[in-house]
Structure 1
Amino acid sequence: MTKVQKSEPVSVWDLAAPLLEGPIWVDRDQALWFGCIKTPRVHRYDPASGERRSWAAPGQCGFVLPSADGKFIAGLQTGLHRFDPVTGGFELLVDPEPNLPGNRLNDATVDSSGRLWFGTMDDGESAATGTIYRLGADGRAVASAPPVAITNGPAVSPDGRTLYHVDTLGGHVYACTIADDGSLTDRRLFVSIPNDEGYPDGPAVDAEGCVWIGLYTGWGIRRYSPKGELLETLRMPVDAITKVAFGGPDRRTVFATTANKHHDAEQAAAQPLAGNLFQFEVDVPGVAGTEISVGV
């Protein structure tokens, strides 16, 4: 088995955050952006200069993704917001679930056609009220997957034809075919992970079409082939990895967001780096990102 990991993970931003999520490398400013959910923030990390910036968010922030107008779309508990880092302002665009105030937005991706895909979840992490949505050209959110308690992802294959999404509590990762009109067909089980091995969290896809899954309480990151074969497990120094993103000039730097909200005092003392941002180098690059251009 060929291993892609070239260096050990190191902490690059000591945030000690309860729950980081949604890392994304933004090409236009060569920086990593991500959210902090429980202490609502948008974070930006520039590895070249070492600059670290943060903005307060008006609600739990699961993701922030670049849009074609030069701004960002942020997923907050109350819905999709346009975020302007120049002013620090947030403007509500759409609340996909006004009837579910106990839900929040959790994770997202953009496909090669510029369409935003995002998930919602029960903030109490028990009720099956979370759904995967696609933002339509008319600016409305289209429910696109059966409900579960905690959604994660989605992630999209390099050819733009397959979407992966995660049922975290169930331990399942699903694959769907993306039709030309953006609808999802042929939903099938991609992989299952027993809960005692860690809960599958945010997925990402590399240039070979392999799917990377962060493990919550699983001490690592798994890399699966497009056929669902486990190729490699990358050990991490903390137990909860929420998602990875490929970045750097050649997209061979992996950034990993982590969490510590589930730790008691003993666990917190044993894992002082939990809740930080990590990075390490790999042989296989990620895929260039796409800005949101549909529905915004």
Structure 2
Amino acid sequence: MRRLPIRPLATLTALGALALTGCGTQTAGPAGDRSTASGADRTIRAHELMQVTKVHEETGMTLLEGPVFDEDGRLLLVDVTAPAGKPKVMRVDVARKTARAVHTDGRGAYTSAQFSPYDGRLYLTDYAHGEIVSLAPDGGDPRVFFSGEVDGAQMNPDDLAFDGEGNLYVSDSRGLSEGKARGRVVRVGRDGEEATVLADDLAATNGISFDADYRGLWFSELTENRISYLGLDAEGRVTSRHTAIRVDGGIAQTDSIAVDADGNLYQGLHGRPAMAVYSPHGERLATVEIPGRAEGLESATNIAITPGGTKAYMTVSGPAGGYLYTFEALAQGIRQSNGG
């Protein structure tokens, strides 16, 4: 079976057939899903909820990303490598364990999804074409929200986050395919007309999320396995920047980031079906693992935590297909743990 490459998004640049032509390991304790590991780091056992997708014959892959709850509490996902005509955005009924198509098209390679607090539409990053696309909540009325160059270079937008006013903050993985540190963090105004580079010379920028108080952005760099913090003022201007956490991932690399109501970071791992959980002060709190590291599952890209609750839904993918796993998060879900 074909293994996922170093970063699935890197493969998108080579998929000409698509329109691109994108811890702890102790056994569970009495509670069944948690056990105490050495120090503060503990293992949280995630449990399989359902298989959502199979590997696509056309692309040789499937990759679930961007889990996000809509206003009615329904969970949506994107399949990054879905070929033309196959579901690229899906809605999952977690109670009935069913999924149905919400949107498809002939070219998009969508790597994240999040609802805007400004207009309520669903925003998607199209990594392959350097665009940000929006949909009506039901998946209709597709519009290109942003396209074109930023400071003379087209983006490869990966993940996104919204501030309270509806402005977008995008991790631009530019330079990934060349192995060069050309990545950026880009701010796009809520009208889609003005784009500003907030940080550059980054090593394949990937996950991005505001902290719990909207005082700054956490962002990860895939090929450096590090998480940095970007302090922002009320106008979205950078006030500070520093490396905050170095992730000991081994062969795994830092993927998407989510933040819960206590400010804890959930760092997805590409190359291992697990997540590393940190406090906002950099303390490793837990590792989310799937039982037995199920065969054929190689990456845990992202999570959505139920808004106002602690039930977390984790997207896990590999040659075995695309799956949803569930676990109890350390704190309640907020906007920063719902999409992106």
Q: Tell me the TM-score range normalised by the shorter chain.
A: 0.7 to 0.9
Shift of 1:48: 3.7
Tell me how far apart the structure 2 counterparts of residues 125 and 277 of structure 1 sit (CA, whole Å): 32
Higher relative contact order (CA 8 A, sep 6+): 1
2:226 is the counterpart of 1:167: no
User: In the superposition, relative to structure 1, how do residues 251 and 288 fare at CA in structure 2: closer, same or farther (>3 Å)?
Assistant: farther
Structure 1 position 105 matched with structure 2 position 165: no
CA separation of 1:38 and 1:151: change in aligned 2, threshold 3 A: same
Q: 1:217 aligns with which of 249, 271, 288?
A: 271
Structure 2 residue aligned with 1:135: 188
1:257 to 2:315 alignment = yes
Query: Which residue type is aligned with residue 258 of structure 1?
Result: V
1:116 deviates by: 1.7
Q: Which residue of 2 aligns with 1:279?
A: 326
Q: Which runs of 5+ in 1 are unaligned?
A: 261-267, 292-296
SS of residue in 1 equivalent to 2:250:
helix
Q: What is the match of residue 8 of structure 1?
A: 46
Secondary structure of the structure 1 residue equivalent to 2:123: strand
Query: Paired residue for 1:181?
Result: 235
- Give me the whole-angstrom Cα distance separating, in 2, the residues matched to 1:219 and 1:13: 15
1:155-199: CA deviation from partner (whole Å, max 9, x where unpaired): 111111121001111111001112111012211111112452521
75, 82, 100: which one aligns with 1:39: 82
Partner of 1:243: 302
Q: Distance in 1 between matches of 2:280 and 2:236?
A: 21
Normalised by the length of structure 2, the TM-score is: 0.72
User: Does the CA-based 8 Å contact 1:216-1:239 persist in structure 2?
Assistant: yes
Which consecutive unaligned segments of at least 5 residues does structure 2 have? 1-39, 56-61
Pair 1:96–1:203, CA change in 2 (3 A)? farther
- CA-based RMSD of the aligned residues comes to 2.8
How many angstroms apart in 2 are the aligned matches of 1:137 and 1:285? 27
Q: How many residues align?
A: 277
Question: Would the aligned equivalents of 1:114 and 1:290 in 2 still touch at CA under 8 Å?
Answer: no
Fraction of identical pairs, as percent = 24
SS in 2 for 1:44: strand
Which of 256, 260, 266 pairs up with 1:206? 260
Secondary structure of residue in 2 paired with 1:29: coil
Q: How far did residue 149 of structure 1 move?
A: 4.5
- The alignment partner of 1:146 has SS state of strand
Quick one: structure 1 residues 93 and 288, their matched pair in 2 at CA, closer, same or farther if it must change by over 3 Å?
closer
Cα displacement (A) at 1:128: 3.1
Q: Whole-Å Cα distance in 2 between the matches of residues 191 and 2 of structure 1?
A: 15
> What are the superposed Cα offsets for residues 210-249 of structure 1, whole Å, 9 maximum, x if unpaired?
11101111331111011101111121233311111212x6
Q: Which residue of structure 2 aligns with residue 294 of structure 1?
A: none
